[in-house]
A and B are shown apart, each in its own frame.
Chain A
């Protein structure tokens, strides 16, 4: 009986399809819950920074607040402006949300816990993250409104600029690993927490994190939706569920980039101290803790820093991050070559 079941799930095409579907749900549902509660944590952290209490009315400690918000957005009317391009206007938030979700297919949660353990994991993530810009450009154009369009153009320029330095950071990491597979990236960092790549590649870690802030348009770089000048940027014309999709997509992207940062620089599922009581903790927990820490830093920066000016943002991307990361690629390659640390292929 059990053998029959195993055979059904491994050899029958219907069984395989069911397994794939189940894996997708097993990643997506916790992720969506995490996204919902990230909005809550964000608001609590900002509240603490500003000596307020934050959401504390709905449910114990305000824990039901994300559900209440979601229900409210769900029940509101979806308004499509009469001069907007109807189809693209509705598709844009879907693209923005979907790209943040499909990237999780290659993220390893523990040793072997990954939906698609493909050889080009890093490239896949880079490709997907470069798609996020489409949801925003299409939204800006389809809204047929000048605020939305200006916001979309800013956002597109910003994302394209910072993707370049993210690309170079990824190249440095994969020079040290010798593989594009994310599980191998984690395994290459095994050992104590100072063996993780954050220490040997410290400048790259900083550049990656700041570029991640720019990529998700979080506060020092939130020009695409700067509410003081552009109303709300590309989201100006959106209401109810499409707005919620943009909002949640942004949070899902933040979690994704934190996860990527944890995999590339903080040793993924590895425990910081490779000895007994720490290695008993499951890898998923360590991974979640690292993501949670990075997300806290995201909230912290949003609560602390003022917004950049647009030309300063471009200057930082093109004149500071790009040369530094390019130089670091060359330096890393040289050090690996002449220090005899080139990873075995």
Chain B
């Protein structure tokens, strides 16, 4: 258990530290990189409580796809760092308020505040349980039976978002030459190549 406890404290400390660095660091590229570090360590914490499927999905979706796009955008933009810093103090109270609300929600949800001591005991049991089936299978069974329609609706929402993104960015500009692979492949030899008999000293 000592190894697990050690791992937990290391990962938890790095999550907190890197999350703080996301906000504090001056360079937006550093912020994104610290965000990735935070995702990673959060995934490690998921593994420690036995939720390996969620951990892997966190890395695949957030680190593998979303953060890459973030990094792309941040690297390509020409961001003025001093301008970015100016709003920091102005937005600090609002940010702190939102943070407090989220913290209160977590504490309420876990039953730490506003409940009896017995629910605190239930918190201690929220640790890993030895399940007969692994959690990939467990999630699959719930997702594709009980919540099947909600799952489909989530898919539709994503589809709408995707169509929206395509509609917003798709422009047909006139005068742009496009390559049509099928036309190129169907082009007969006669159109492309002409064999010329060149007379000696005559040239073409």
Contacts and interface: CB of A to CB of B under 8 A. Distances in A.
Interface of A: 13, 16-17, 88, 118-120, 123-124, 126-127, 130-131, 133-134, 137-138, 141, 149, 153, 156, 160, 163, 180, 311, 315, 345
A124 B65 CA distance: 15
A123 B60 contact: yes
B33 interface: yes
B36 A134 contact: yes
A131 B3 contact: no
B68 A160 contact: yes
A13 B68 contact: no
B68 A127 contact: no
Residue among B53, B57, B75, B181 with the highest chain A CB neighbour number at 10 A: B75
A16 B60 CA distance: 30
Nearest to B69: A160
B3 A16 contact: yes
Nearest to B54: A120
Given A137-B68, A141-B29, A149-B75, 7 more contacts: A13-B2, A123-B53, A123-B60, A126-B64, A131-B63, A131-B64, A156-B68
A233 B41 CA distance: 31
A119 B1 contact: no
27 contacts: A13-B3, A16-B3, A119-B52, A119-B134, A119-B135, A123-B60, A126-B60, A127-B56, A127-B60, A127-B63, A130-B65, A131-B59, A131-B63, A133-B68, A134-B68, A137-B68, A137-B72, A137-B75, A138-B33, A141-B75, A149-B75, A153-B72, A156-B72, A160-B68, A163-B64, A311-B179, A345-B137
Nearest to B76: A153
Dominant secondary structure of chain B at its interface with chain A: helix
A160 B64 CA distance: 8
Contacts of A130: 59-60, 63-65
Contact of B56 (A120, A138, A141): A120
Contacts of B56: 120, 123-124, 126-127
Interface in B13-51: 29, 33, 36
Interface of B: 1-3, 29, 33, 36, 52-53, 55-57, 59-60, 63-65, 68, 71-72, 75, 134-137, 179, 181
Contacts of A133: 68
Nearest to B60: A127
A16 B6 CA distance: 13
- Which 6 A-B pairs have CB atoms at the shortest separation, nearest pair first? A130-B64, A123-B56, A127-B59, A13-B2, A119-B134, A120-B52
A159 to B, nearest CB: 9
A185 to B, nearest CB: 14
A321 to B, nearest CB: 14
Contacts of A153: 72
A123 B65 contact: no
B204 to A, nearest CB: 29
Nearest to A130: B64
Nearest to A127: B59
A132 to B, nearest CB: 10
Residue among B1, B36, B64 with the highest chain A CB neighbour number at 10 A: B64
A123 B63 CA distance: 13
Given A13-B2, A160-B65, A123 B57 contact: yes
B53 A120 contact: yes
A169 to B, nearest CB: 15
A317 to B, nearest CB: 14
A163 B65 CA distance: 10
A124 B64 CA distance: 12
Contacts of A123: 53, 56-57, 60
A13 B1 contact: yes
Contacts of A134: 36, 68, 71
Contacts of A149: 75
Contacts of A13: 1-3
Given A137-B75, A156-B72, A163-B64, A315 B181 contact: yes
